[in-house]
């Protein structure tokens, strides 16, 4: 800290999947290694920022020099994010479960019954939209991610508007891409004014570094 393009700045990053428990041994999850979010947190710390990483369950190591808050569910993730504010930059790279089981059973559901148990889902809070829509303590730069398989840019534009974020990082996760769980990523960076950057396929660590450099540029160009 003290040196680097984000010296004196505070950065919040969400990363990894969420787990939404069905019973003590089963859960609904999203496919996410946490690699991209963790790489962003690491790059922000290297750039001198004070970084809080709110992470769902992942099997990769904690980045160096970062405060890590571990959570399991989307609701826990939202609470941890709110507790970590204010921040200058908030990056929502986690693959948050859109739904959770309406009830979590306290004991393991048995297979011995004749019927297959029903699974009723309810909607989870949208963490990105919640923070981007805040009046108080809204981070000046709110960054969302979009994992798309089709019409990547079209969907990214819609998502940027719907979520109310300032910048959207869209990645193509169509099966051919091998991005999910992989070490490389092809990203498109979409700004609110429609400006678009497309980067070549790069390692997730390199994507993290380049994203952090862009965030620092955008932040320094902001008034105040």
Residue nearer to ligand C5P on the CB measure, 145 or 215:
145
Q: Does residue 30 have an active-site annotation?
A: yes
Does 209 belong to an annotated binding site? no
Smallest distance, ligand C5P to C-beta of residue 159, A: 6
Q: Give the integer Cα–Cα distance in Å for 15 and 91.
A: 9
Of residues 13, 143, 25, 19, the one with CA closest to residue 69:
13
Q: Give the integer Cα–Cα distance in Å for 122 and 100.
A: 6
Partners of 202 in beta bridges: 185
Does 88 belong to an annotated binding site? no
Are 87 and 52 contacting, i.e. CB atoms less than 8 angstroms apart?
A: yes
Contacts of 124 (CB under 8 A, 6+ apart): 18, 20, 73, 74, 75, 96, 97, 98, 99, 100
Smallest distance, ligand C5P to C-beta of residue 98, A: 6
Residue nearer to ligand C5P on the CB measure, 4 or 134:
134
Are 51 and 67 contacting, i.e. CB atoms less than 8 angstroms apart?
A: yes
Q: Which residue is nearest to ligand C5P (CB)?
A: 127
Does 145 belong to an annotated binding site? yes
Does 219 belong to an annotated binding site? no
Smallest distance, ligand C5P to C-beta of residue 52, A: 15
Positions that interact with ligand C5P (CB under 6 A): 14, 74, 92, 94, 96, 98, 124, 126-128, 144-146, 159, 163
Residue nearer to ligand C5P on the CB measure, 1 or 134:
134
- Provide the annotated active-site residues: 30
């Amino acid at each position: 800290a003290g040196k680097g393009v984000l010296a004196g700045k505070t950065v919040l990053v969400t990363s990894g999947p969420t787990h939404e428990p069905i019973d003590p041994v089963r859960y609904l999850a999203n496919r996410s290694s946490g690699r991209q979010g963790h790489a962003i947190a690491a790059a922000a710390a290297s750039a001198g920022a004070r970084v809080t990483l709110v992470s769902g369950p992942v099997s990769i190591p904690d980045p160096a020099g970062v405060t890590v808050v571990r959570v399991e569910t989307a609701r826990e993730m939202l609470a941890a994010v709110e507790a970590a504010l204010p921040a200058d930059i908030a990056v929502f790279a986690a693959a948050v479960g859109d739904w959770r089981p309406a009830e979590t059973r306290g004991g393991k559901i048995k297979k011995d019954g004749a019927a297959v148990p029903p699974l009723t889902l309810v909607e989870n809070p949208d963490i990105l939209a919640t923070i981007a829509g805040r009046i108080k303590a809204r981070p000046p730069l709110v960054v969302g991610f979009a994992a798309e398989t089709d019409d990547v840019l079209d969907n990214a534009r819609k998502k940027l508007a719907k979520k109310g974020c300032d910048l959207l990082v869209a990645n193509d996760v169509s099966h051919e891409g091998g991005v999910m769980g992989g070490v490389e990523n092809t990203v498109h960076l979409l700004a609110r004014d429609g400006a678009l950057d497309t980067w070549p396929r790069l390692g997730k660590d390199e994507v993290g570094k380049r994203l952090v450099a862009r965030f620092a540029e955008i932040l320094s160009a902001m008034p105040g």
